[in-house]
């Protein structure tokens, strides 16, 4: 397998792009080697500039839930392109997508579209503060909520407990109202509330996806919501990754918990830049022009992106692939565990529906500290062997693998063979 053209583009890209990428994980820093440059994708496959074809389990980090270039999405977007790209005024499609979203999430009476998950979350946080009149927000170590200053904390447990910024350029003042708790540990949330009545809410990935997949244990989310109600604080569900993926109504539908504020991204745009935040009527009354919380966007509700979102969600609802996800996910989980056993490798697999992650560790992974016990060098070997055997994975131990509804039995066989080769390589 040759990566010559990717290597050439990488060197060329280094001149005018930072690290030749526009988002750091794409740089392959944690697995070594040069990043792959992609030429095209269709269905379950993605092809790099050297002509190597892979079964894609990255799916653009989640959005491509129907697989690439689904014909209905392609058609919807092509139609929209003929009418104009951006108007700076409202269109009927915004109302259509808003209805699809609000129907799917009972806790959302109204929604505001933005352009990314980061924007959705930063607006959702502002809304929680506007509604409660309180300043502090609790987040969980290992949860990622986009790159806004206030939530770029807890990049590692030491930094996490101290509430120090996890990125250069973030002033301490920007994170002084961010408190850190441990995932799956309600007591760590309760501690923050002791003697503090200035906490607006708790933001959570209802299924952790950015420390690898980490599953809420027992009734964690429900107990968290019940507890917050007693404190007059809001539950902010960051469903940027899980929205429309865990279930059509997100992790909230799956886990039977209704958040006060919901943030969406990824699948909602089907590969086009769309994010959204929403809540029940009384909370959304705070948002301008109804209320005093300002939030705006030149390209928000962009007609091409709205068309991509409508076509994706309409098709997704029709396909209802969640049972299929559960079946395929279950098969992959078993293949990973049995192959690891065959080669005597310590492996823990965390999976929730169509999000899955193997950790090279013996430790049961329920939070960020436990996720970090995974042997990332083994993951790097595993990653490259999967690439060489035609499976495109996220180039990081701590990124979830995603399934699309387009996956076929043949794809699963290919993934299975690749896993065998990759585990063999790890065992050497």
* Count of residues engaged in binding ligand PLP, rule: CB under 6 A: 15
CB of 137 to ligand PLP, least distance (A): 14
401: contact with ligand PLP by CB under 6 A? no
Residue 31 or residue 240: which is nearer to ligand PLP going by CB?
240
> Are the C-beta atoms of 250 and 243 separated by less than 8 Å?
yes
In the three-class reduction of DSSP (H, G, I as helix; E, B as strand; rest coil), residue 43 is classed as strand
Active site annotation includes 238: yes
Closest separation in Å from C-beta 419 to ligand PLP:
25
Is residue 17 within 8 Å of 352, Cβ to Cβ? Answer: no
From 30, 52, 118, 295, residue interacting with ligand PLP (rule: CB under 6 A): 118
Which one, of 285, 237, 304, lies nearest residue 265 by Cα?
237
Q: Counting contacts by CB under 6 A, is residue 137 touching ligand PLP?
A: no
238 touches ligand PLP by CB under 6 A? yes
Kindly state the smallest distance separating residue 260's Cβ from ligand PLP, in Å: 17
Q: Which stretch binds ligand PLP (CB under 6 A): 52-60, 140-148, 285-293, 357-365?
A: 140-148
List the catalytic residue out of 238, 247, 260, 378: 238
Q: Does 61 bind ligand PLP (CB under 6 A)?
A: yes
Site string for ligand PLP, 9-48 (x = CB under 6 A): ----------------------------------------
As a whole number of angstroms, the distance between CA 11 and CA 402 comes to 29
Give me the 65-104 binding string for ligand PLP, x by CB under 6 A, dash otherwise. Answer: ----------------------------------------
Catalytic residue, chosen from 45, 266, 378, 414, is 266
The sheet carrying 178-181 orders its strands as 110-114, 275-279, 261-264, 234-238, 199-204, 136-140, 178-181
Provide CB contacts within 8 A for 362, sequence distance 6+.
346, 348, 373
**By rule CB under 6 A, what string of x and - marks binding of each residue 160-199 to ligand PLP?**
----------------------------------------
Residue pair 319/363 in contact (Cβ under 8 Å)? The answer is no
**Binding span for ligand PLP by CB under 6 A among 12-20, 164-172, 203-211, 326-334:** 203-211
CB of 273 to ligand PLP, least distance (A): 8
* 3-state helix/strand/coil string of 173-223: HHHCCEEEECCCCHHHHHHHHCCCCCEEEEEECCCECCCCCECCCCCHHHH
Q: Is 266 a catalytic residue?
A: yes
Asked whether position 313 contacts ligand PLP by CB under 6 A, the answer is no
Task: Return the sign of the alpha-carbon dihedral for residues 74, 75, 78, 83.
Answer: negative
How many other C-beta atoms can be found within 10 angstroms of the C-beta atom of residue 261?
Answer: 27
Asked if 144 is an active-site residue, the reply is yes
Which one, 246 or 372, has the nearer CB to ligand PLP? 246
Would you state the structure tokens that stand for residue 347, as one six-digit string?
């492996």
Comparing CA positions, the residue from 15, 18, 38, 41 lying closest to residue 29 is 18
Q: How far is CA 133 from CA 197, 199, 200, 310, 367, in A?
A: 11, 9, 7, 35, 31
Task: With CA atoms as reference, report the closest residue to 397 among 89, 22, 136, 142.
Answer: 142
Q: Shortest Cβ distance from residue 421 to ligand PLP (Å)? A: 29
Distance CA 416, CA 428 (A): 19
Please report whether residue 211 would count as binding ligand PLP according to CB under 6 A: no
- The rounded distance, in Å, linking the Cα atoms of 371 and 376 is 10
- Binding residues for ligand PLP, rule: CB under 6 A, are 61, 116-118, 121, 144-146, 205, 209-210, 238, 240-241, 265
> Among all residues, which ones are annotated catalytic?
144, 238, 266
């Amino acid at each position: 397998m040759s990566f010559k053209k990717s290597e050439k583009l990488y060197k060329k890209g280094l001149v005018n792009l930072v690290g030749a990428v526009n988002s750091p994980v794409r740089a392959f820093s944690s697995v070594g080697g040069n990043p792959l440059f992609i030429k095209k994708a269709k269905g379950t496959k993605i092809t790099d500039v050297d002509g190597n074809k892979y079964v894609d389990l990255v799916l653009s980090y989640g959005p491509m839930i129907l697989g690439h270039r689904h014909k209905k999405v392609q058609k919807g977007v092509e139609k929209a392109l003929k009418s104009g790209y951006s108007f700076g005024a409202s269109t009927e499609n915004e109302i259509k997508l808003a209805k699809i979203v609000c129907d799917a999430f009972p806790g959302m009476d109204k929604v505001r579209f933005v352009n990314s998950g980061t924007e959705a979350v930063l607006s959702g946080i502002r809304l929680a503060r506007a509604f409660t009149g309180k300043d502090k927000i609790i987040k969980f170590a290992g949860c990622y909520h986009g790159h806004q200053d206030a939530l770029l904390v807890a990049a590692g447990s030491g930094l996490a407990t101290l509430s120090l910024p996890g990125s250069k350029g973030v002033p301490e003042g920007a994170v002084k109202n961010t408190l850190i708790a441990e995932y799956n540990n309600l007591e760590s949330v309760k501690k923050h509330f002791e003697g503090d009545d200035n906490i607006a809410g708790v933001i959570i990935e209802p299924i952790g996806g950015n420390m690898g997949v980490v599953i809420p244990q027992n009734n964690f989310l429900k107990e968290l919501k019940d507890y917050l109600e007693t404190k007059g604080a809001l539950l902010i569900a960051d469903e940027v990754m899980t929205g429309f993926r865990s279930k059509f109504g997100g992790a909230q539908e799956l886990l039977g918990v209704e958040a006060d504020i919901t943030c969406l991204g990824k699948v909602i745009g089907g590969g086009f830049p769309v994010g959204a935040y929403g809540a029940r009527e009384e909370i959304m009354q705070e948002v301008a022009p109804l209320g005093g919380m300002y939030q705006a966007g030149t390209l928000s509700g962009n007609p091409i992106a709205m068309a991509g979102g409508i076509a994706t969600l309409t098709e997704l609802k029709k396909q209802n692939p969640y049972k299929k996800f559960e079946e395929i996910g279950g098969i992959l989980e078993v293949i990973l565990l049995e192959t690891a056993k065959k080669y005597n490798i310590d492996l823990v697999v965390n999976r929730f529906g169509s999000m899955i992650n193997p950790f090279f560790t013996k430790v049961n992974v329920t939070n960020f500290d436990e996720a970090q016990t995974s042997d990332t060098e083994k993951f790097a070997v595993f990653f490259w062997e999967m690439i060489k055997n035609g499976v495109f994975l996220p180039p990081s131990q701590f990124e979830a693998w995603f399934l699309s509804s387009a996956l076929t039995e043949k794809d699963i066989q290919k993934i299975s063979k690749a896993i065998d080769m990759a585990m063999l390589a790890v065992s050497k």
